[in-house]
Amino acid sequence: MDEPATEVRKRLTEVGGRTSQDLGLGRIVGQILVHLYLSPVEQSLEDIAKDLGLSKAAISIAARQLESLGLLRRSWKPGDRKTYYRTADDIATALHQGLLMLVRNKMSLLATELKQAEGELKGLGPDAEFVLGRVKRAKKLRDTAMSVLENPVVRLLTRVK
């Protein structure tokens, strides 16, 4: 091993892979992101592929995902046809906002669904009345959760420094 930090890099890269997999993006996305985050220099597609032991195709696809999420930047060097990659400068903010957005979307879908159910259940008789009660309870829960997310105090706290 040339670099003494190789072992640590490898381990943290795996952590990134697991994490992004948990979020429903593949493991490769997380691996690339951490790998770049821990690299002092920009890396080409081939560099990344070699370091992670994956095919260029896989890296290519995942890299585009990362770029569309605003977590990764491409760059070029004069007289060099390769594309180089590095993590976005505001990666912390991007991560933070991305996660929030994800949660908000889910929540909002849920809200739509609950509201619609509520409407359809009115005046259908006793069984529907029961379901309606449950739906209302669920709606209240969702509203509480949402109000926390949107609360100014929480926003202040979660602001990335």
Partner DNA sequence: TTGCGCGTTAACAGTTTTGTAAACGCTCAG
Partner DNA sequence: CTGAGCGTTTACAAAACTGTTAACGCGCAA
Q: How far is residue 66's CA from residue 117's CA, in Å, rounded to a whole number?
A: 36
Q: Which residue has the tokens 């912390």?
A: 92
Half-sphere exposure (Cβ direction) of 98: Cα atoms closer than 13 Å: 16
Q: Does position 79 bind DNA by CB under 7 A? A: yes
Q: How far is residue 22's CA from residue 18's CA, in Å, rounded to a whole number?
A: 6
**How many residues touch a copy of itself (CB under 8 A)?**
45
Q: Does position 86 bind DNA by CB under 7 A? A: no
Q: Does position 57 bind DNA by CB under 7 A? A: yes
Q: Does position 8 bind DNA by CB under 7 A? A: no
Asked if 85 and 56 count as a contact pair (C-beta separation under 8 A), the reply is no
Q: Does position 46 bind DNA by CB under 7 A? A: yes
| Closest approach of a copy of itself to the CB of residue 124, in Å | 4
Show contacts with DNA in window 88-117 (CB under 7 A).
none
Other Cβ atoms closer than 10 A to 95: 17
Structure tokens at 89: 């400068």
**How many residues touch DNA (CB under 7 A)?**
21
Q: Which residues bind DNA (CB under 7 A)?
A: 21, 26-28, 44-46, 53-58, 60-61, 63-64, 79, 81-83
